Amino acid sequence: MITGFRIILGLLGLLYLSLGAGFLFDPSGSGADFGLEQLGVKGLASIRADFTAFFLVAGGCLVWGAWARRADPLIVSAALMGAAFIGRAVNLAQNGAHEGWLQPMVFEAVTVVLALLGSRMLPVKQAS
């Protein structure tokens, strides 16, 4: 059971790592997939830096937690995705629904739940 759960966490982490790589190497294309439009070099730099960091850290922590059987990196992923979910919920409440609003919220919510479950199932490593 735990091994299967770790595989699911690792695969989800790899998905987020691939999204992060997409923003690093093709920020215009990846940004367009997310409804973003670059405004000059500064906008391109912001897309490349911020989205790459978000997805690489979230995905890297999922992979790290699953691979090393560590609970603590999973908390980082849950916090990042939870913050993103809250931001989307606020936007939904203030601006209403838009085309494609549900899918990212489902992915974020599922990631939060899986990461928190994983953090409870896997041990917390104590510093030596």
Assigned domain for 127 exists: no
Identify residue 22 by its one-letter amino acid code.
Answer: G
Looking at residue 123, its pLDDT comes to: 76
Answer yes or no: is pLDDT of 125 > 70.
Answer: no
Domain count, the chain: 1
Domain residues for the domain of 78 are 2-121
Whether residue 68 lies inside any domain: the answer is yes
- Helix/strand/coil percentages in the chain, nearest 5: 80, 0, 20
Asked if residue 53 belongs to a domain, the reply is: yes
Q: Which tens digit of pLDDT belongs to each residue from 61-111?
A: 999 999 999 999 999 999 999 999 999 999 999 999 999 999 999 999 999
Q: Provide the 10 A C-beta neighbour count for residue 82.
A: 17
Distance (Å, whole) CA 84 – CA 51? 12
Instruction: Answer whether 103's CB lies under 8 Å from 84's CB.
Output: no
